[in-house]
Amino acid sequence: MLGDAHAEDVIYGKNKYFKDINIDLVKVSHHGSKHNTNKELIHCLGSEEFIMLTNKSVDKETIATIVRNVENSKIYCNYNWWNNTDYFTDNDKKKYIHTGKLEIVEADLIDIDKRG
């Protein structure tokens, strides 16, 4: 979980303490803010799966950064912000979401294994 951390701080910490470890699942900083996510962070973490928790629209640039830098990405969401037609136009959805490189998993489709 990155909380409100800035990308350069996360990169520094990961390279110092966990250099050879890829992260399986990343909770994106600050509700998907473009100011906390960049391509260097995405490459450093090595994850293909991301969590975005917000009830507001995620920055389009954050989605673009993930799509451009991860071959097959998956984003788990607690709210269907991409269906907000006031923010994500049909053209935006084609450009950022319906790329063939991104799967968005809605909250009601997330299955949590409670065995362990």
User: Tens digits of per-residue pLDDT, 36-64?
Assistant: 899 999 999 999 999 988 777 778 889 88
Closest CA to 66 of 109, 37, 90, 86: 37
Q: From CA 46, how far away is CA 40, in angstroms rounded?
A: 10
Which amino acid, one-letter code, is at 58?
Answer: V
SS3 content of the chain, % helix, strand, coil (to 5): 40, 15, 45
Whole-prediction pTM value? 0.81
Residue 53 dihedral angles phi and psi, to the nearest 5°:
-110, 110
Size of the chain, expressed as the number of residues it contains = 116
